[in-house]
Amino acid sequence: MVRIAIDGPGGAGKSSVAKAVARELGIIYVDTGALYRTIAYHMVLSGIDPKDAESVAAELDKFTLELKFVDGKQIILLDGVDVGDNIRTPEMSMAASAVSAIKEVREYLLNTQRNIARNNSVIMDGRDIGTVILPYAEVKIFLTASPEARAKRRYEELIAQGQVVTYDQVYNEMVERDKNDSTRAIAPCVQAKDAILLDNSKLTPNETVAAVIKIVKKNEKSLYMKLHAWLPPIIRFFQRIKRTGLENVPADKGYVICSNHIAARDVILIGAAYPSQIRFVAKKELFSVPILGWLIKKLGAIKLDRGGGDVAAIKTSVNLARAGHSVAIFPQGHRNPGVNPANTPTKNGAALIAYKSQSDVLPVFIKTKNHKYAFLRKKEIIFGKPIPYSELGFKNGGGEEYEAATKIIFDRILELGGCKKDDAEKEIKD
């Protein structure tokens, strides 16, 4: 799965380029700007000033907005009617800029956009995709061009559509919108720190598409996945790992992955057994170790401040899970070598992340003799069937619900390893 974010000012050709790239790569194109244009269109039709934040916010629950994909083409239905090209006028461009600066509008559309990317390979274009909508996108590009070049393109596009405009009018409106979009308080149009800058002032549309595809091909696989192409088989061979239940792990879907915790190498073993990237939590001290710190950061580890209540790590984990990434959490919280996991206490962090991100949970059991690693001892990584979010019993969240969900999750993990409470009680008696 790959998520591509293309940001940049109006007239840079983001939409046409994104559509072409989507066709070339066989992925879904999401025109986020069209969503804002549609809301603006409704406001104008309803006689509401797009700059009137209070009135716009009050109107959001009075219409329906539906996004569909027909033969790979995005269609937006406003109250069940396809808006078509009605949202592609200069008036709608300015109105869209106004409504997009309203906090309630952005919140209204945020989950819609993220949910599409959560379960699909997508390319999205807009002004804050890489900074706000998909901050964990595998590829981020900031596509821009000089104001003159962008105005010329937009002018020719509008003339081709039969609209009566002048170049000066288009240029002035574009400069005004650039200023509004880049200086607004909420989600301004700025280049993400990890985005690749592409100036296409002197490039043709085809050359721009080729340049974007080249960037995607070069950057779509993280260092983790580049290593994953050859390193896991080696690890599985030397660590004597057997994988069971891979059929329970659908491709291109993220989970909150929960496993029993024996020792530090659990991260390596599960990572070598799982078919795609996993984002593991690592204590913050490791990030300051020369070379190692750089490596685990490149591998996408989540920095954990154990002295800070895990708040930052939990928040990052939730955001990653929401974005469709697989996040691994150990419900036991600590390593327990040589101990039947049925005897160990659990923490509610995994349940909290599942609730906040509305994610399914994938139970995993690391099975080895006496629950302890030894030289040349065989290991089995067992992947269970995913636990749907709907089966975790969440309603409003809170301690009691997290504790109940944690029990559901950990019981499923124990079942995979054949660890029953009777066995635990027997160990205690012995």
Per-residue confidence of the chain (430 residues) as pLDDT tens digits?
Answer: 789 999 999 889 998 999 999 999 988 898 888 899 999 999 999 999 999 999 999 999 999 998 888 876 788 999 999 999 999 888 998 999 899 889 999 989 988 888 888 878 899 998 889 998 999 899 999 999 999 999 999 899 899 989 889 999 999 999 998 998 888 888 889 999 999 999 999 999 999 999 999 999 998 887 788 888 899 999 999 999 999 999 999 777 789 999 999 998 898 899 999 998 899 877 777 778 777 677 677 777 888 776 555 687 888 899 899 888 899 989 998 889 999 999 999 999 999 999 999 999 999 999 999 999 999 999 999 999 999 999 999 999 999 999 999 999 999 999 999 997 655 444 444 4
Reference 345, options 401, 403, 397, 393; nearest CA is 403
Q: Taking the CB of residue 123, how many other CB atoms lie within 10 A of it?
A: 29
Q: How far apart are CA 347 and CA 322, in angstroms?
A: 21
Give the sign of the dihedral formed by CA 241, CA 245, CA 250, CA 256.
negative
**Predicted confidence (pLDDT) per residue in 89-118, tens digit:** 889 989 998 998 899 999 899 888 888 888
Reference 392, options 344, 352, 332; nearest CA is 352
Rounded to 10 degrees, what is the CA torsion of 106, 109, 115, 121? -80
| Cβ atoms of residues 342 and 322 within 8 Å | no
**Summary count for the chain: helices (H), strands (E):** 16, 15
Q: How far apart are CA 215 and CA 191, in angstroms?
A: 16
| Cβ atoms of residues 349 and 370 within 8 Å | no
| Cβ atoms of residues 256 and 353 within 8 Å | yes
| Cβ atoms of residues 320 and 279 within 8 Å | yes
DSSP state of 287: G
SS3 242: strand
The domains located in the chain, with CATH, are 3-219 (3.40.50.300), 223-429 (no CATH)
CA 292 to each of CA 282, 335, 399: distance values in angstroms, whole numbers, following the listed order: 11, 21, 36
H helix intervals, 46-197: 53-59, 90-99, 103-118, 147-160, 167-183
| Cβ atoms of residues 79 and 64 within 8 Å | yes
| Cβ atoms of residues 365 and 384 within 8 Å | yes
Q: How far apart are CA 39 and CA 87, in angstroms?
A: 9
